[in-house]
Structure 1
Amino acid sequence: MDEALPATPLTRRLLAGVGAPFERTPPGEAAAVALRCFGVTATSIARLATERDDTFRLAVPGDAHGYVLKISAPGDDPAEIGLPGAAIAHAAARDDSLPLQQFVPPLTLSPTHGGRAVRLLRYLPGSLLSEVDPSPTDWRAVGRMLGRLTDALADFDHPAADRWLAWDLARLAELSELVPVIEGEDRRRAVGDLLSELSAETLPALHLTPRQVVHNDFHGGNLVVQSNAPDFITGILDFGDIVRSHRAADLAVAMSYAAPSLRASDPWAPAIALASGYRERVTLSDAESVLVPHLVLGRLAQRLLLASWLVTSRPENAEYTSRNLESTWRQLVSLRQSPLPTGGARQ
């Protein structure tokens, strides 16, 4: 039994796989895995920081871009490991112009390393959205791309789609037990009050809205961009948090990373631009739209809760999991002090 986990069974089940510690694969060993499983010889290999698996970028001869090697965490459910690849294949079949990473076929069926699943993907070149200063037009392009992906996944199904996932916004109320791990009495009170508000009306109403498989992590670190590209977005990364949830929640997740522009006169303006692009591809009901701004606040609270818990329970990875705690808090304060968009996600 992991003593770092909360006592409540529901919360324990949600958090059991979040950032669980394991022995990391050394880069040299990972390079040998790439050669054995995919026939790829790496001239250099660099670890990429992640929450729950081993991920490496590989440079190879004669290829300007290279590959990304992923070695799953020990104990990961095989069905869940296959979910992202199945979703990417389905989305590509529905919309072949979506900028999705390509999986490299292995030399053997279901390659593993020490019992852990191994996958190799093509590296997508370009800058990350988080590294640039998007204009309102760019934010609309982000929303439009999310809408296209939502469309492409609308009829996708998979045995693992209904998995328990702590990052599923629909399960936010089940994380209330984590409030005490947030540092600072003022912050604990603010997040606790917000959870109470959302649990009273927003989350029950969310459960009555349409569900489908969604990306669930459409943020600047998972989007490759090129300013001169027709669609601005040239790569969609990391389907690791994919789950069957609510469209309104998925949009709110993306908006939560756009909304808190502390330099803007209206902190909600970038998020509203994103939502306007999304609505070009996906029609939300009034019931969904009115929930979205509240869910944006909920996502920020979710990030504070889970990151704070990871810092205290998995100190060996605290440098990575704590990196956005302060900015997330500032973002939440900024949005809480600003009027919610009167039209929800319809402005």
Structure 2
Amino acid sequence: MSSDAPSDEVRRKWLKPAIGENFSLLNDVLASSFSTALELSSGGTFNILKQLDSYDDENFLLEHKTTMSAKTTKYLVKVHNGVESEDAKIIDYQNTIMTHLNSHPSINTTVPLISDDGAPFTSHKLPVASPKHSPAPLTVRLLTYIEGTPMAYKQVTPALLFSAGEYLANVDSSLDSFSHPASERFHAWDQKNTSSLREFVKYIQTPERQQLVGSVIDAFEESVLPDASSLRQGVLQSDFNDANIIIGASDKIAGVIDFGDSVKSWRVLDCTVAMAYAMLSSYGKTGHSLAASAAFLAGFNSKYPLTPNEKKHLRTLVCCRLACSATLGAYSYSQDPANKYLLLHAEPCWRTLEMVWNQVDSDYLTSFYELAMDSKTDLCLLSVPDPTVPDHFQKLRSSTKRAFSDTKTITFVTGNKKKLEEVQKIMDNTTATITNYKLDLPELQGDPLYVSEEKCKLAVAELGTAVITEDTSLCFNALNGMPGPYIKWFLDKCGHDGLNKMLDGFPDRTAYAQTVVAYCSGPGSPVHLFDGRTKGKIVPPRGPLDFGWDPVFECSEGGPSSAGLTYAEMDKSVKNTVSHRAKAFQQLKNFLEKESS
């Protein structure tokens, strides 16, 4: 990076406003440029109360009083950095985007007041961080103020993060109809430009962290960039962090501020930027980084569903934002080495990046985020500690695992005693003892074989013993295999009669029942899959109604004792000779006998 051609990120540091506590200087600017808006000629008064947090601009809270009434109004004074101040189109862009969003009934933002010159901003020569470049012409705006508290100063909960995700989804839905020529610009904080971070990696203090950021950039270039053309584009807020989210009464989101980073880029980045910042929220810092990001993702996706390719790159893009924040923070420290606070402030970001990128299995995180985007998932299922959090109950867990560790005992993961009895009868005369244990496993999505294998791995990791898991589907041929693995929810919502009505109008009422049994002999061992299927058709319910969808599935296999009967009408001993579950478990039984011999 040559001194005669510095990047915008370098110049932002040079040209960051340096007004600080010099309120009298700012008073003069406001009095000379916003006298009409502040009603100074008719006796109005104003007072700057304090400076507010900001990254490379300076913000101030102003209180305004009129002589005609006792009404007091608060405003925000924003002094822009010198880079943005050089381009009036950028300032107009920010003003326009806020005005556009504020017209949305469920979105609240700050909006600019008009200066004495008739423009929504003014320019003055003011001090900046670099003495060599001070004073510099800086843009000053007077903006409406949103009453409330930045989320950074609130106790953040998963429910609040879910609401924040919904709010940003509304913002993005509104921005889908917004355009402005100044949105098409290069910005170092736009994760579409992650490759540009390479010139700042040298400012990172340790080789290990330099390598970490380098590997994130490599992954971005190898996996994300080839899919760039398939990622939806739009104008982004780009900086939806807890300092820019305002919380009002009853812990409801009152509005969003600061559109200084707004650009036209990949739509998914608005979500992944916010997910990264959620990891660094007060909730994320309690060892719930992944849970915090998942809660936000759940809210966003519920209102603005992501596409398969956008979902595919969530982990990498979240880490791109963490890497960007940590790397540019290291650059800031290099420019101000006396400011040790910069290093302290960046440390949580580094720890989170190291955990997500190096310590958490990528397949685990993919499944976790898929669970978050399932509308049936309760938030409490996502509120789990990070996998790297020390387990203070490890000894207790180990003793529990030892209780299951008899190699002649296989644990069937179910809390359903009737299922256990059925499986025990099928597996009778094997050398293994089948017991059961109720374990809440995530309802994964995807191919039944993949889902079964992943659930079995999770169960083995939790129990530390030989386990069996099963996943059952009821598949209608007329509906190309639906409801399939989702039959449990269809039955719950529609009932037996509703399942029949789903096929009204179709000449084909044939179906097949499927069970995929997954078996693993213990941690580190491979998972074996056994797929059992039985042909039949869907009929009005017959027989006892207390065992799932058995009353509506009429079997078409076997002899007179089974063909033409619903599962519910069959004697259990007969059912165990033809059922999908029996077939899958018979395969498992044969496997175990062969393995034993």
1:84 match:
94
The equivalent residue for 1:60 is 64
Q: Distance in 1 between matches of 2:201 and 2:183?
A: 28
* Corresponding residue of 1:48: 52
Q: Residues 190 and 216 (structure 1 numbering): CA distance in 2 closer, same or farther, change over 3 Å?
A: same
Spell out, residue by residue over 1:62-99, the C-alpha distance to the aligned partner (whole angstroms, 9 max, x if none): 55551111122335311111111111111223x13312
The change in CA–CA distance for 1:328 and 1:99 in structure 2 (over 3 A counts) is same
Contact kept? 2:241, 2:274, Cα under 8 Å: yes
Q: Does residue 97 of structure 1 match 2:106?
A: yes
Query: Which of residues 309, 332, 335 in structure 1 aligns to 2:353?
Result: 332
Moved more, 148-157 or 19-28: 19-28
Instruction: Tell me how far apart the structure 2 counterparts of residues 64 and 274 of structure 1 sit (CA, whole Å).
Output: 36
Amino acid at match of 1:42: F
| Aligned-pair CA distance for 1:276 | 1.2
State the Cα distance separating 1:130 from its structure 2 match. Answer: 1.4
- Does the 8 A contact of 1:45 with 1:56 survive in 2? yes
1:18 to 12, 16, 27: 12
The CA distance in 2 between the partners of 1:166 and 1:287, in whole Å, is 23
Distance of 1:49 and 1:157 partners within structure 2: 29
Q: Distance in 1 between matches of 2:354 and 2:183?
A: 33
- Which of 264, 267, 272 aligns to 1:252? It is 272
Q: Distance in 2 between matches of 1:300 and 1:4?
A: 29
Structure 1: which 5+ residue stretches go unaligned? 6-11
Alignment match, 1:9:
none
> Which residue of structure 1 aligns with residue 468 of structure 2?
none
Task: Check if 1:112 corresponds to 2:123.
Answer: yes
**Bigger mean CA deviation after superposition, 147-156 or 304-313:** 304-313
Q: Which amino acid aligns with 2:54?
A: T
Structure 1 residues 323 and 59: CA distance shift in structure 2, 3 A: farther
Pairwise CA distance, 1:21:
3.2
- SS for the counterpart of 1:60 is strand
Matched, 1:3 2:14: no
Structure 1: which amino acid aligns with 2:14? Answer: A
- Alpha carbons of 1:91 and 1:43: their partners in 2 closer, same or farther (altered >3 Å)? closer
Bigger relative CO (Cα 8 Å, ≥ 6 apart) = 1
Aligned to 1:34: 30
Q: What is the identity, as a one-letter code, of the residue corresponding to 2:74?
A: G
Superposition CA RMSD, Å: 2.5
Structure 1 residue identity aligned to 2:353: L
Equivalent positions of 1:308-327 (< 5 A) are 308-313=330-335, 318=339, 322=343, 324-327=345-348
> Percent identity among equivalent residues?
24
Offset at 1:175? 1.2
Partner of 2:196: 174
TM-score by length of 1: 0.88
Q: Which residue of 1 aligns with 2:294?
A: 272
Counterpart Cα distance in 1 of 2:212 and 2:278: 21
Comparing 280-289 and 17-26, the one that deviates more: 17-26
Contact 1:225 1:235 in 2 (8 A): yes
CA shift digits 1:171-190 (9 cap, x unpaired) = 01111121110112221122
Amino acid at match of 1:36: S
The question of whether the paired residues in 2 share the 8 Å contact of 1:70 and 1:118 is answered with yes
Alignment of 1:152-231 (within 5 A): 152-226=174-248, 228=250
Moved more, 62-71 or 76-85: 62-71
Gaps of 5+ in 2: 39-44, 126-136, 375-597
Counterpart-to-counterpart distance in 2, 1:52 and 1:238 = 12
Contact 1:51 1:320 in 2 (8 A): no
1:224-239 to 2 correspondences below 5 Å: 224-226=246-248, 228=250, 232-239=252-259
Give the equivalent residue in structure 2 for 1:263.
Answer: 286
Contact 2:53–2:59 at 8 Å: present in 1 too? yes
CA distance in 1 between counterparts of 2:292 and 2:268 reads 17
Q: Name the amino acid aligned to 1:310.
A: S
Conserved in 2, the CA contact under 8 Å of 1:224 and 1:233?
A: yes
- Partner SS state of residue 324, structure 1: helix
Q: Match of 1:42, SS?
A: strand
How far 1:199 sits from its partner (Å)?
1.8
SS in 2 for 1:342: helix
Which residue type is aligned with residue 75 of structure 2?
Y
> Would the aligned equivalents of 1:67 and 1:122 in 2 still touch at CA under 8 Å?
yes
Residues 99 and 233 in structure 1, CA contact (< 8 A), matched pair in contact too:
no
Mapped partners of 2:96, 2:161: distance in 1? 28
- The number of equivalent residue pairs is 336
> Which moves more between the two structures, 110-119 or 168-177?
110-119
Change (3 A) 1:77 1:16: farther
When residues 2 and 65 of structure 1 are mapped into structure 2, their CA distance, relative to the original with a 3 A threshold, is farther
Tell me: CA distance 1:321–1:36, structure 2 relative to 1, closer, same or farther (3 Å). farther
